[in-house]
Amino acid sequence: MVSLADIQEAQSRLRGVATRTRLIEFRYPDSDFRRLYLKPENQQPIGAFKLRGAYNKIASLLEQDRRRGVISYSSGNHAQGVAYAARALGVKAVIVMPDNAPAIKREATAALGAEIVFVGPGSTERQLKAEELAAQHGYVMVPPYNDEQIIAGQGTMGLEILEDLPEVETVLAPVGGGGMISGVAAAIKLSKPSVKVIGVEPELAGDAQASLRAGKIVHFPAAEVSRTIADGLRTQSIGPINFEHMRRYVDDIVTVTEDEIREAVKLLAANPKTVAEPSGAVATAGFFFHGAQLPRTKLNVAIISGGNIDPKMLEELRREK
């Protein structure tokens, strides 16, 4: 399990590398007593929070391991995080990506100097290919979520939320493989246990909620999770390490529909500082459309995990009625 000291060490390691994103209050009409603040991780150099965990993992490697090069598997944002961190640290990076990854993410990863290997859409498929290449070439694996250094890096968001809003009562975070919510929940619960931590994920990729309810990891088929517009959350199951953190620190997980995600993207796009890709908008969707399932708290934070949305998609969503 990741300790508070691990997360604080990651925070020191990331200083000057990851952007220290500041909370933005989201003002909306017809609000009740609840207030919502946004954690805009879309403002990171790669447009997403994944830089935090990727850099913390690679920077913590021994020099002889860095010389071997690193490999990872990702639908896009973690790919960019690994590529960015590897370039900054002078390390070779190979990324296994699904062939249906958004072009904006594929091109950004390649521009950062990573070698890309494409496979089919299943998250399990890209993981197996990455493991095969790691064994073949001796690369060091940088997992997207099932790793304590990754979790500690993502947990730095939790520390920042508490620094910016010490009175926060509920924090909502997107859930894919579980790296973000594992770290954020650990950082918050180990610092201020009274704060509620709620995960939010698409109904079509609701494996984390199903796992928490069942008390064991539940796998979803690739054909189902690939249907969600939230491409960054198309994981078929959460990681074992993440599951243990979630069981200990996460209060609940809610799911949102595709229409709710689309509406949240449109609401956030009204402010250039909070433009979100569909995956990045799910926590906000949870706040707006599932208030009855959430704690009745006044001070709330929702994390915008990323803003790497295809301009054409954003324009199409804005035209929808």
Are the beta carbons of 271 and 222 closer than 8 angstroms?
no
Can you say how many angstroms the Cα of residue 179 is from the centroid of all Cα atoms in its chain?
7
Domain holding 216, by residue range, is 4-46+148-319
What per-residue confidence (pLDDT) applies to 107?
93
Counts of helices then strands in the chain (DSSP H, E):
14, 10
Do 152 and 136 share a domain, yes or no?
no
Neighbours of 291 (CB within 10 A): 13
- Tell which of 86, 111, 141 closes a domain: 141
Do 246 and 310 share a domain, yes or no?
yes
pLDDT digits 0-9 by tens, 211-248: 999 999 999 998 999 999 999 999 999 999 999 999 99
Residue 266 among the catalytic residues: no
Q: Report CA dihedral (148, 186, 48, 110) to the nearest 10 degrees.
A: 10
**52: which DSSP letter?**
H
Domain count, the chain: 2
What are φ and ψ of residue 109, in 5° steps? -65, -45
What are φ and ψ of residue 160, in 5° steps? -65, -40
Bridge pairing between strands 35-40 and 24-26:
antiparallel
Do 279 and 137 share a domain, yes or no?
no
Selection from 235, 80, 67, 72 nearest residue 149 by Cα: 72
Q: Look at the block and give the residue holding tokens 């599951």.
A: 243
Selection from 127, 314, 139 nearest residue 234 by Cα: 127
Indicate which residue of 75, 189, 305, 321 is catalytic: 305
Selection from 271, 268, 273, 311 nearest residue 286 by Cα: 268
Distance (Å, rounded) from C-alpha 75 to C-alpha 79?
A: 7
Do 78 and 158 share a domain, yes or no?
no
Do 42 and 62 share a domain, yes or no?
no
Indicate which residue of 39, 50, 105, 196 is catalytic: 50
What per-residue confidence (pLDDT) applies to 75?
82
Segments in the chain below pLDDT 50: none
What per-residue confidence (pLDDT) applies to 124?
86
**185: which DSSP letter?**
H
Neighbours of 274 (CB within 10 A): 20
What per-residue confidence (pLDDT) applies to 30?
61
Q: Which two tokens stand for residue 48?
A: 């997403």
Selection from 84, 80, 85, 82 nearest residue 101 by Cα: 80
What are φ and ψ of residue 218, in 5° steps? -110, 135
Q: What is the pTM of this model?
A: 0.95
Residue 194 among the catalytic residues: no
Distance from first CA to last CA of the chain, Å, rounded? 46
Q: Look at the block and give the residue holding tokens 């078929």.
A: 236
Distance (Å, rounded) from C-alpha 217 to C-alpha 213?
A: 10
Distance (Å, rounded) from C-alpha 40 to C-alpha 19?
A: 10
Do 124 and 230 share a domain, yes or no?
no
Find the CATH number of the domain harbouring 130: 3.40.50.1100
- Tell which of 124, 141, 158 closes a domain: 141
Do 61 and 182 share a domain, yes or no?
no
Do 168 and 110 share a domain, yes or no?
no
Q: Look at the block and give the residue holding tokens 């969707």.
A: 285
